[in-house]
Amino acid sequence: MNVKRIIRGILFCMFVVIAFFGIFQATSKVVKAETYVDKSVLASPNPGIKLDGYFTTGTFAGNTAYVMNSNGVDIVRMTTGKNQTGAIWSNNDTNYLDVTKKQTISMWVYFGNIISTVGIPDGMAFVLQNDSRGAEAISKHGSIINKGETLGVWGSDTDTGKTPIQDQAIQNSFALEFDTDINSGKEPGNGFDSLPYNGKDYFGGQGHIAWALPAKATTYKKVSGGLLGSTYYAMVHNLGSDLLTNGNAVDFSFSKSHYNSYQDAWKHVTIEYVPDADGENAQINYKYDDKTYFGTAKSPLVKGTANISLSTFDLKGSKKLRYGFTASTGASSDITDAVIFESMPSLVDAEDNAYVVNKTNNTRIGNRSSDNAEANQNVNLFDDQDSNLTTSKTAHPGDELTFNYMMHFLSGETAMSGVNAKIDLPDNVAIAPDADGSIGKIYYRSFPDADGKVTTESASIGSDKISGKEVTCGLDDLGHSGKNWESARIALNVTAKDFPEGSSSTSMNVPASSAHFEGNNFVSDVHTDSFDIVKPGNELQITTDMTDKIKVNLGNKFNLTGDISFKNPETVNKNDMYINYRIDGGPIIRSQDTSAGSKFTIYDLETGTGAGQLDVGEYTIEVQVIDNNYPMANGGVDTLASNKLYYDVLVTNQTVTVTPEDSSITVDNNEPLTLKGTYEHADGTSTAGEGGSSVIAYTITTADGTTQSEVSDSQANDGKYSLTLDPYAYKKDPSVSLDDYTGNTGLKVGKNIVSITVVDEEGHKSKPTEVTVNVPDITPSLTTKQDEFSIVQGDPINMTANVNYGNNYQFTPSKLTWYVDANGHKTINSYSGDESVATLSQDFTIDSTANGIDDDANNPYTVSVYFTDPYGRKSEELDYKVDVMEKTAMIESTDYKFKDINASASPRVIGRDGAWKLQVKSVMSKWTLTAKAGQMTTDQLGGDVPLDGSLIYVSPDDDVNDMRQQTFIQNNTDDSKIKTTDIGGSWEPDEGVLLDVNSSTLAGTYSGEVEWDLTNSV
């Protein structure tokens, strides 16, 4: 007993020490929030959007989140002290995440006055959820709200005995946690961050950013051997793929010093949602600390991608997800968490871009990749006239530049309203006002109307809008309201500065220009790429010998040629050059000629009446060559632009007139149709004098409005044409069904518009001439004189179907494709016959065995038949019924009697009494009949007394057989007929079955049995 008490004492002492050590560890993190610092940070907010009516604070009891306004900015204050849990959610009415669209959500976050890199509990989480509780969703067990390491979204392992940990979490959700502290105590409520770090599962000495699915059991791992032998749960954290930015060991600490500002406490977060095309999965790309307080993009401290299945959210057909933040603190964590939202993608989903155009050399400066895009930036968003420009990296002193800042409205519940732009111009460029004093323009472009028409408008930006290097201007509302503007582009007129007098420098940097867009429901920052102003290392020159006016006939193509050289001679490498040209001052079109040598060609400029073609008239084409990869002496590359050449082009219109023999035709057969006609010059002269050949081309527009690909044929240029048009399925392989046929060119049922054009030897082209070809919408009739068949098992079924289109319409039998469905066995057949006929009696044979028509128990069987023709028309369907008769033989017999006799001492043979019915009915079957008779007895003499005698069989050959043995009676060797064999009726009185009685037979009535054995064989 004493020993036991000693052991208890030792254990008790150990417990006290450990418990005290645990308390020491927990309380060592108690840091009182610097209220003055919090107030100063909250008083220095970044720009954000108004939240009223679009967000709602969590509706669960005890929610600590609320919205405050500081200097006109709505801030969500999530926690303000110890033991708190807060949540803020989009209202899911007008503000939500649409799972079917690519969207971006951005915000600024503040984690309180954390002065230790170890971190202060506990942090926040960005959450997407479809919890049935809606805005009341929060982590809880029973009625108790979970705090601490749950961050308000994860389950808690402090009460898993009653509620499984995953069921305590926010349901149907995704969460990205900003965990400012590690929970590695290996005990319930303090063990989420205790798994070994392997690049995916978190472990580290500081806070972290990671994602997981809160309501999935696989997010949590039960671990034994915790503090005091406890069992606790750790969490599986998903980090980014780049080791340097994967979210492990993030320093969330902030403490004000003379090295930073209160604004530095705010960290920018970008969440980009990208749905897969399959509609079943999505990627969530996230960046942390990817922008400075001043809106300048920076390399993110953390970035990652979560690949998730949309089944996570159990949407049940909905496309809406509620998004927001949760946050929590522990018992010793007096900390402030806060969020400022910059965008609401369902309310306003927009994209922007900023870029510079060099008007002097017609290039676009910079070429940012999408990997380096800022939040909401589409690096491929350009004005139409700028999208095809050659990219460059430099400008020259005095170059005329346009700094462009674009905003594009994509979708949203409301218009983007109240937007003001603040633009900071960089060093080494200067605003260049035009003659009217404007420093630039704002260009608006509307959404297309029902007819596809787009409205444009511009507004001048006066010089009063610039102060120092800052330009400010307001934008009209964008979206489906007001003027229905889809996009706005601010274009500022700027000149590249010259090098200072006496400067020996060969390069000046132009930093990025920032633009800050801030409206009632959208905030964004975007920057141009930086570039260098350099002194040109050479001068690019172009010349041409095409000085006379170039004459081209309408419909023909032509080339422009020239020669490239450098003022200071050197080898011309056209692989690094682009040829820009514009027609009559229109948008620039970029071309390239990579052939060897200095000669260049712009190939195949088109004339005609279509889009992008030159119609009849005179044109001036401006040409300039750009070398955007010219090597500089310092190892960099420069962009050189040549002088401009101007080519004069005259497009004339000598055309061809086409006259068809018949402009409207109705076909009366299924064979190819020949269209004939003539053509000549529009002035009445013949084309034959040109010699050579003409190209006759046609397209077919079918009744459904589909225009098929053009078909062309080269024919003698003699003023006559002949075209052969096939029914679209005329050349179909007969073994291929119409459904599987991939051909789609040719005449079809209904109205076909055949548009014919002719281009003669000298390139004179006709306008399209139409011929209407009507293909009757006929359902061919299919009839038969016999639609019911009875066959013997295994026999073929010979059937006939009669075809008729009516009105003497002709068809070719071999061009019909027959579809036979025999008892569910489908085949495709064609039959011979290459002469056109108006009627047809088509014979075909069905193999009954191969098609499973072989069991009379399944009678009747159905055979269905129809056909399709070269125009794709389907006939009526014809059904046949087939009954199967099994090859068999069957005996029919009754009870029989012999004649009565008187007792006698003499043996006798007794004949049959009356006609015996003994027949065999057989169906195409051979058979053999045998019989065996049993003992005849009587019960009239006291018990079963046997007859002193037996049955005998006397054959037609007078052979006598004792029927007490198996006795042959008769057989049939003819299996070609269906017949009934009357065996008993064919016996003579002294033949067949008789009774042989001995002399000692006693008087009485005797009975017995005969076994007839019929075998279906011989």
CATH number of the domain to which 856 belongs:
2.60.40.10
Residue 452 CB neighbours (<10 A): 6
The rounded mean pLDDT for the chain is 89
10 pLDDT higher than 60: no
Question: 463-477, 798-812, 1003-1017: which has the minimum mean pLDDT?
Answer: 1003-1017
Q: What is the pLDDT of residue 719?
A: 95
What is the band of 201 on the pLDDT scale with cuts at 50, 70, 90?
Answer: low
Residues 238 and 330 in one domain: yes
Show the CA angle centred on residue 188, arms to residues 184 and 192, nearest 5°: 40
Question: 57-71, 126-140, 272-286, 357-371: which has the minimum mean pLDDT?
Answer: 357-371
21 pLDDT higher than 50: no
Residues 625 and 735 in one domain: no
How many distinct structural domains can be found in the chain? 6
What is the band of 502 on the pLDDT scale with cuts at 50, 70, 90?
Answer: confident
Tens digits of residue pLDDT in 667-684 = 999 999 999 999 999 889
What is the band of 15 on the pLDDT scale with cuts at 50, 70, 90?
Answer: very low
- Note the residue count of the chain: 1018
Cα–Cα distance for residue pair 791/1016, rounded to 1 Å: 19
19 pLDDT higher than 90: no
Residue 449 CB neighbours (<10 A): 10
Residue 861 inside a domain? The answer is yes
Domain end: 534, 550, 577, which one?
534
**Comparing 905 with 535, which gets the higher pLDDT?**
535
What is the band of 28 on the pLDDT scale with cuts at 50, 70, 90?
Answer: very low
Tokens 């053509």: give the residue. 679
Q: What is the pLDDT of residue 204?
A: 61
The answer to whether the bond into 122 is cis (omega within 30° of 0) is yes
Cα–Cα distance for residue pair 746/754, rounded to 1 Å: 10
25 pLDDT higher than 50: no
Cβ atoms of 287 and 109 closer than 8 Å: no
Q: What is the pLDDT of residue 35?
A: 59
Q: What is the pLDDT of residue 334?
A: 74
The answer to whether the bond into 860 is cis (omega within 30° of 0) is yes
The DSSP result for 62-124, as a single string, is TB--EEEEETTEEEEEEE-SSS-EEEEEE-SSSS-EETTS-EEEEEEEE------TT--S-EE
Residues 106 and 142 in one domain: yes
Residue 429 inside a domain? The answer is yes
Amino acid at residue number 350: A
Cα–Cα distance for residue pair 54/816, rounded to 1 Å: 66
Summarize the confidence of residues 812-830 as an average pLDDT.
94
Percent of the chain surpassing pLDDT 70:
95
3-state SS of 746-774 is CECCEEEEEEEEEECCCCCEECCEEEEEE
**Segment holding 167, helix H or strand E:** helix 165-168
* CATH number of the domain encompassing residue 222: 2.60.120.200
993 pLDDT higher than 50: yes
Q: What is the pLDDT of residue 140?
A: 94
Residue 512 inside a domain? The answer is yes
Residues 683 and 742 in one domain: yes
* pTM of this prediction exceeds 0.85: no
CA distances from 559 to 449, 556, 576, 694 (A): 37, 10, 21, 22
Q: What are 373's two structure tokens?
A: 């895009």
What is the band of 293 on the pLDDT scale with cuts at 50, 70, 90?
Answer: confident
**Comparing 307 with 2, which gets the higher pLDDT?**
307
Residues 550 and 610 in one domain: yes
1 pLDDT higher than 70: no
What is the band of 258 on the pLDDT scale with cuts at 50, 70, 90?
Answer: low
Q: What is the pLDDT of residue 390?
A: 87
For residue 165, the 8-state DSSP code is H
Tell me phi and psi for residue 35, to 5 degrees. -55, -40
Q: Would the CA dihedral through 9, 15, 18, 24 be positive or negative?
A: negative
Q: What is the pLDDT of residue 6?
A: 27
Cβ atoms of 950 and 961 closer than 8 Å: no
Cα–Cα distance for residue pair 758/720, rounded to 1 Å: 10
Q: What is the pLDDT of residue 372?
A: 77
Q: What is the pLDDT of residue 202?
A: 62
Residue 37 inside a domain? The answer is no
970 pLDDT higher than 80: yes
* CATH number of the domain encompassing residue 721: 2.60.40
Q: What is the pLDDT of residue 115?
A: 64
Residue 773 inside a domain? The answer is no
What is the band of 116 on the pLDDT scale with cuts at 50, 70, 90?
Answer: low
3 state DSSP class of 170: coil
What is the band of 160 on the pLDDT scale with cuts at 50, 70, 90?
Answer: low
Residue 380 inside a domain? The answer is yes
729 pLDDT higher than 60: yes
Instruction: State the residue range of the domain holding 928.
Output: 888-1016
Residue 4 inside a domain? The answer is no
Residues 6+ apart with CB under 8 A from 831: 813, 814, 816, 818, 842, 844
Residues 495 and 598 in one domain: no
Beta strands 645-652 and 550-553 are parallel
Residues 305 and 360 in one domain: no
What is the CA 921 to chain-centroid distance, rounded?
A: 68
Give the count of alpha carbons within 13 A of 224, CB side only: 0
Question: 536-545, 599-608, 786-795: which has the minimum mean pLDDT?
Answer: 786-795
Cβ atoms of 895 and 1009 closer than 8 Å: no
Domain end: 612, 627, 649, which one?
649
12 pLDDT higher than 70: no
Show the CA angle centred on residue 171, arms to residues 322 and 375, nearest 5°: 35
Residues 238 and 323 in one domain: yes
4 pLDDT higher than 60: no
**Comparing 35 with 855, which gets the higher pLDDT?**
855
> What are 577's strand-pairing partners?
627
**Comparing 25 with 170, which gets the higher pLDDT?**
170
3 state DSSP class of 41: helix
Q: What are 155's two structure tokens?
A: 């389950």
Domain end: 649, 676, 705, which one?
649
Range list of β-strands (E), 528-616: 531-534, 540-543, 550-553, 557-566, 577-583, 589-591, 599-606
Residues 527 and 445 in one domain: yes
3 pLDDT higher than 60: no
Q: What is the pLDDT of residue 665?
A: 96
Cβ atoms of 800 and 774 closer than 8 Å: no
* CATH number of the domain encompassing residue 422: 2.60.40.740
Residue 616 inside a domain? The answer is yes
Residues 6+ apart with CB under 8 A from 93: none
Give the count of alpha carbons within 13 A of 885, CB side only: 15
Residues 678 and 635 in one domain: no
Q: What is the pLDDT of residue 307?
A: 96
Residue 624's closest CA among 645, 640, 638, 603? Answer: 645
206 pLDDT higher than 80: no
Residues 644 and 660 in one domain: no
Residues 465 and 375 in one domain: yes
> What are 706's strand-pairing partners?
none
